[in-house]
Every structure is written in structure tokens, then in C-alpha cells.
Amino acid sequence: MRTFVRVVESGSFSAVAYELRATQSAVSKQVAALEKELGVKLLVRTTRSLALTEEGECYFEQARRLVAEIAEAESSLIKAEGQLRGWIRVAAAVGFGRLKLMPLVKSFMSAHPDVKIDLRLHDGFINLVEEGIDVSVRIGDLPDSGLIARRIGTSQLMLLAHRDYLRSLPEGVGAPVNPEDLKVHDCIVYTGMSNSNLWTFTAGAGTSETKGATKSIRVEGHIQTNSSEVLLSAVATGMGIGYAPTWLFDVELASGEVVRLMPDWESPRSPIHLVSPPERKHSAKVRAFAEHIAAALT
């Protein structure tokens, strides 16, 4: 029943086989065995797609509810025993996962040696239900959805450049002081954000503008990327000015090789949330992992 529910949610036998560390044939046989036991056809399978039969649709809704209830019952037993075990599937953006999440994953696994982590890092959107994700870290405003969300922090953008880039500027061009100055600079555009090349700033007390006034500047450069890791590398090797979250450059800022630009102009802040599908909220190991992450980042 669990296998059938995950096949429908993910729309793929191969995806579920990967989750279960099994072969695609084994997953297909489990679903076929369930159909034989029930005496009805649940899925219509072609080489490219899966579709529920009328009986399958009715059974799926009830099966998903039952699977969630069984998971809750098992979670209660594990909690009473005091030992967490099994897989937790975690998703996050690449840079955040490597720099912020990995140390916390390590410490959580040290405290719970029977837990295994499947960490999936991707800078694009991940459908948590389809991918079977238990908990994800998401940066930015959340769309309305049925996901369970918990705010754990804030991410602030910052204008940054390596000292080598600033040293290489042609005569008469200095480090930007106001947003308009960015028009003559090589800016590294991160396409993972909406309005990726439209950078917005708010005037602080140290500017000549009215405090709180906002300016949006459309920037250009010789490189753009959808990867936070490439953005980090491009800035750190002096290829141009980046507009990135502060946590991405903690090490480089601490060393002094990368510096913050236009400190009198404030940049937007975005919330950081832990999100989970509703059916995962009763899992003891997911709750424990979420608490571990929240305690460290909040």
C-alpha cells in the first residue's frame, strides 16, 4: 500500500525504486500484487505515463490516509522506544545545503546513528510530494499550499565584490556608491530569482536620498547563472559584482578578500522556512530533525 501511494504521488516506478533502494521491477511487482489481492486494476501503465483507474482513484485517497495513520502509529512506538531510525529525505538549495545544512546533518546523525539522510540539493523548485521529500528548507515567500511551514530565519541580500575586481577597474571608475553606479559595472546575474537582473535597494541614513526610498536598477554583465555555487565562484575569482545572500559568502567576507559594497543601501530580506508535506508531520524522526535545524538556525 505504501509503495502504491508513492508511485501515484511521484508518477514514476523508477523514482519509487530509487527511494526504496529497490529495482523498478520489484516496485512494479508490489503494485501488481496489490491489484491481484484487491481484484481490481488500480493503474493504467504505458511506456511514458501512469494513470489511475476509477477504482484506483477511490482506493488511492483511502490508502494515503491509512498510510499516514500507520506512520503515526509507528512514530509513537519509536518515540516511546527513544531511538530514531530510517531514512529522512531532505531538500535545499545547493549553496545553503552545502554551507549551512551539511554541518547540521552531520551533528544530527552523530546524535542518531540509526538515521540515514538522503540530501537532495537543487537551486530550482522541487515538488515535495512527487519527490517524496520529508522536509525542505525554502528561502523566500511561500505560495499558498497545503505544506506545513515553520519560519526559522531570514536571508538578506548583499552587494559584494572581490578586491581583485575592484583593483582591476579602469581609471575613473570606482566602487559603486549609489545604485545608478552599477550601470557601468560587470554584474553577475543569478537567474534563480525572479527579476534576476533588476536589483532593488532601500536608502539608509548614510545616503543622500530620503531614508526608506527604494531604487531598482536593471544591471548587465558578461555572466549569468542559475547556480548559487557558480555565483559564489564568479564573485570569489573577481569576475564581477554579485547580489547574493550574506550566508553564501560568510568565509570570504571573514577573510576580507570579498567586501560588501554600498553598505548605506539596504537590500531585501527573505524568510527561511522549513516545509513538509502534511502526511510527514507525525513522523518522530522528521520532527526531531526539524527541531535540530530550527534550534541551530533560528
Give the pLDDT of residue 20.
Answer: 83
Give the pLDDT of residue 80.
Answer: 53
Q: Residue 254: pLDDT above 80?
A: yes
Q: 151: pLDDT confidence band, cut at 50, 70 and 90?
A: very high
Strand order in the sheet with 265-266: 214-218, 198-203, 265-266
Tell me which of 110-124, 131-145, 220-234 is least confident: 131-145
| Matching CATH number, 1-80, of 1.10.3720.10, 3.40.1280.10, 3.40.50.300, 1.10.10.10 | 1.10.10.10
Q: What is the pLDDT of residues 158-195, one digit of tens each?
A: 999 999 999 999 999 999 999 999 999 999 999 988 78
Determine what percent of the chain is predicted with pLDDT higher than 70: 95
User: Exposed, middle or buried, 298 (CB in 10 Å: 0-12/13-18/19+)?
Assistant: exposed
CATH 3.40.190.290 fits domain 154-271: yes
Number of CB atoms found within 10 A of residue 172's CB: 6
User: Exposed, middle or buried, 80 (CB in 10 Å: 0-12/13-18/19+)?
Assistant: exposed
Give the pLDDT of residue 273.
Answer: 94
Helix (H/G/I), strand (E/B), else coil: 239: coil
Average pLDDT for 125-150: 85
Top-ranked range on mean pLDDT: pick from 79-83, 144-148, 248-252, 279-283: 248-252
The residue with cell 481490481 is 40
Each domain of the chain, given as residue ranges in start order, spans: 1-80, 154-271
Q: Residue 79: pLDDT above 70?
A: no
The conformational region for residue 208 under phi > 0 = left, psi -120 to 50 = alpha, else beta, is alpha
Average pLDDT for 11-30: 88
Give the pLDDT of residue 71.
Answer: 73
Q: Residue 3: pLDDT above 80?
A: yes
Average pLDDT for 202-207: 90
Q: Residue 46: pLDDT above 80?
A: no
pTM, two decimals, is 0.73
CA 231 to chain CA centroid, Å, is: 17
User: What end-to-end distance do the CA atoms of the chain give, in Å?
Assistant: 38
